[in-house]
Amino acid sequence: MKPSLKFPIVLTMTHNKTVPQVKGDFLLGNLSQMIANPFQALCDWQRDYGDLVSFRLATRQFYLFSHPKLIEQALIKQRDVFVKIYNPDKPTGLALILGQGLVTSQGDLWQRQRRLMQGVFQRSNITSLLPQIVTAGNNMLDRWRQLGDGAQVNLSSEMTKLTLEVITQTMFSTSVLDKMERIAPSLDTLLRYAAKTIVSPLTLPLYVPTPANQKFREALGIIDDVIYGIIEQRRKTSSAQNDLLDMLLKARDDSSGEKMTDRQIRDEVITIFSAGHETTANLLSWTLYLLARHPNVLAKLHEELDGLLQGKIPNAEDLQQLVYARAILNESMRLRPPAGILLRKVNKDTEVDGYFLKAGRPAIFSIFNLHHHADFWPQPEQFDPERFLIPENRRFSFMPFGTGERSCIASHFALLEAQLLLSMIIQHCDLELLNKDEVEVEMAVTLRPKGGIPVRIKWR
């Protein structure tokens, strides 16, 4: 009987391929590479080892996925196996900032919050928000005009201010321009710290008073003061605003009938506040940068804008017809996806494409590697919006907003916002890059331009 009992076990195991292991230091594994440049490390490992690899950060083993077929098998067909990482007793990454907001929560709480917020981001509702986006765009352009022709600005900082104003005006019917000098650097501190906790197992708990921990807590306090201030101000207002904050304040649990606590509302507000501006700011920054480096593409965009708009601000119908502008944004998101990675945990032993994966290990899905995969994108490093003028099924080879049930709920809003603001800026300004060298990519949860993008503003 012994041979017959062992035979199926041996047979099953022989069908499992071994996940390639990235070579690294005996004690720390690949930690030094990840800390030095996490973005470059993930690119190098896919190039050198393949589309599914394992790497080690000190005592923790990770998996890295970089192929559409593997991502479909994991995130769609085995979504109950590859789950969000959230431990309320020991939060890491974005959970340190967002608590149990829509991006980080799981299970019944996530489903309830997703249902609630879907109403805010319905297409019919989003078009009603376009005037507020226009106001924010015009305010920035007016501020630029006051600086004078030839003024120099950091494009990344300007897009951050712009999208922060858009998100607070559209979602919370308020303005934070007077607090921008405190908010922007605080959010930067929070996102950098969150990214570090993902890649470094050596990060000390927040209660340890290290300089980095103290800086994080101070930054979180500043943002919390702003968020709770917005909530308190709204509670004192009797008139309905019909925005996201109103919906959160009025929401009741289906089973208990209870309203959300201020902490629950805070988690959702800060999720939209943080995630809702950062990705769009990066999308606009990278798109304007790429256009400045590719005058032939910029000329075609001017031709489309001049022909359709003739100097006016686009409305919802116009935006649907700006096909080339949308192709430019898609190609920008392919080259520089707003979120470079998705992070999950393997919650039980499983198999993907014949590879055996162990329970408990984090899995990183590299959107950047996916968008630069030569099997799916000819000349992947070339900026070519024309590729998005050809209809193709790119469900798992192009996923700037994620995929499956956890995909970004605000993707349509983000694209409309970016398309509208891009059209407004390009119609009025030419942006000249002050540094002719290629801007490096920095991964701090999102993919940012390292050091910003200094430009000179020239009025058309």
CA dihedral 362, 366, 370, 371 (to 10 degrees): 160
Q: Give CA–CA dist 244/268, Å, rounded.
A: 10
Q: What is the pLDDT of residue 409?
A: 86
What's the mean pLDDT in 29-46?
Answer: 94
Q: What is the pLDDT of residue 165?
A: 92
What is the 3 state secondary structure string of 138-161? HHHHHHHHHHCCCCEEEHHHHHHH
Average pLDDT of the chain, as a whole number? 89
Q: How does residue 253 score in pLDDT terms, banded at 50, 70 and 90? A: confident
Residue 194 has pLDDT above 50, yes or no: yes
Instruction: State pLDDT tens for residues 341-354.
Output: 999 999 999 999 99
Nearest partner of 45 among 60, 18, 28, 24, judged by Cα: 24
- 247 within 8 A of 301, measured Cβ to Cβ: no
Nearest partner of 428 among 459, 383, 382, 388, judged by Cα: 459
Burial string for 9-45 (b: 16+ CB within 10 Å, else e) reads eeeeeeeeeebbebebeeebbbbebbeebbbebbbeb
Residue 185 has pLDDT above 70, yes or no: yes
Nearest partner of 454 among 288, 332, 336, 279, judged by Cα: 288
Token couple for 335: 């080259």
Q: What is the pLDDT of residue 8?
A: 40
Q: How does residue 13 score in pLDDT terms, banded at 50, 70 and 90? A: very low
Which of 92 and 3 is assigned the larger pLDDT? 92
Residue 173 has pLDDT above 50, yes or no: yes
What's the mean pLDDT in 310-318?
Answer: 94
Q: Give CA–CA dist 250/120, Å, rounded.
A: 13
Q: How does residue 287 score in pLDDT terms, banded at 50, 70 and 90? A: very high
Instruction: State pLDDT tens for residues 75-99.
Output: 999 999 999 877 767 777 888 888 8
What's the mean pLDDT in 98-113?
Answer: 85
Going across the sheet that includes 60-65, the strands are 52-57, 60-65, 362-366, 341-346, 82-83
Q: How does residue 15 score in pLDDT terms, banded at 50, 70 and 90? A: low
Residue 370 has pLDDT above 70, yes or no: yes
Nearest partner of 422 among 122, 154, 173, 155, judged by Cα: 155
The answer for residues whose C-beta is within 8 angstroms of residue 394's C-beta and 6 or more apart is 376
Q: How does residue 457 score in pLDDT terms, banded at 50, 70 and 90? A: very high
* CATH number of the 2-459 domain: 1.10.630.10
